[in-house]
Structure 1
Amino acid sequence: MSTFDDRENAFEAKFAHDAEMQFKADARCNKLLGIWAADLLGKTGADVDAYVQDVIKSDFEEAGHEDVYRKLFADIGDQVDEATIRAKMAECMAQAKAQLVQEL
């Protein structure tokens, strides 16, 4: 293999790794958001787990995080405002990424 091929393979591997890490961070962020929202909704036990799964699934509707925001706003928008939800989304993403880094 040439140096060019080695470099190309390294870039492809890094891209795949970065994409996998972003997917894991997104899923973990959505889990944290689901737990937070479930608490606001007064859910307990298995209802929390089911709600968390609903939040995670809502992220597959479209690219980006607006689908998760819409789900959360529809469910808890009467309790918190848009700025609070968006701030919590940013906080949970930072927390999710930090947790993933610690696991490495």
Structure 2
Amino acid sequence: MTTPLHGLPRTERNDGFGIADYETREGEIARRNVLFGLWAGRRLGLAEADLEAYAWSVHLADREVPGQDDVIAKVSADFAAHGIDISEARLRRHLHEMRLRASLDLAHH
């Protein structure tokens, strides 16, 4: 089953955030980032209405440096600012889980 991103269509989407086509590696990474952002936002206790904006901010953080370290750094800093103690290793595991979920979504499309 495909995980919707708050009503965002999976394909033929050009939203200014770099998700033009989920069928690409970049689309899979973008989907991973947004799913990770939604997970993190819930852990931060954000209101449902604020989750999508937070998830996109996590995705946009991925454009700062190559690789996933910028996404991990953003979420880690946000957790620390909210007094949530979580290891970098645990954040990386969750990010990996979201990558698998994004990949499965693509496989079932």
Number of the residue aligned with 2:4:
none
From 36, 39, 51, give the equivalent of 2:54: 51
Partner of 1:38: 41
1:21 aligns with 2:27: no
Q: Does 1:75 align with 2:75?
A: no
Distance in 1 between residues matched to 2:40 and 2:57, nearest whole Å: 11
Structure 1 distance, partners of 2:85, 2:68, is 20
Instruction: Give the TM-score normalised by structure 1.
Output: 0.75
Gaps in structure 1 of 5+ consecutive residues: 1-19
Runs of 4+ in 1 over 3 A off after TM superposition: none
Q: Could you tell me which runs of 5 or more consecutive residues in structure 2 were left unpaired when the two chains were aligned.
A: 1-22
2:107 pairs with 1:101 = yes
Give the AA of the match of 2:68: H
Higher helix content, 1 or 2: 1
TM-score after normalising by structure 2: 0.72
Report SS of the residue matched to 1:75: helix
2:97 counterpart residue number: 91
The residue aligned with 1:62 is 65
Q: Which has the larger radius of gyration?
A: 1
Counterpart residue type for residue 46 of structure 2 = K
* Cα distance in structure 2, aligned partners of 1:57 and 1:24: 13
After superposition, give the CA deviation of every residue in 1:36-89 in whole Å (9 maximum; x if it has no partner). Answer: 100111112221111011001001111111110100111124332111101001
- Aligned mates of 2:68, 2:99 — CA distance in 1: 11
- Letter of the 2:89 partner, please give it: A
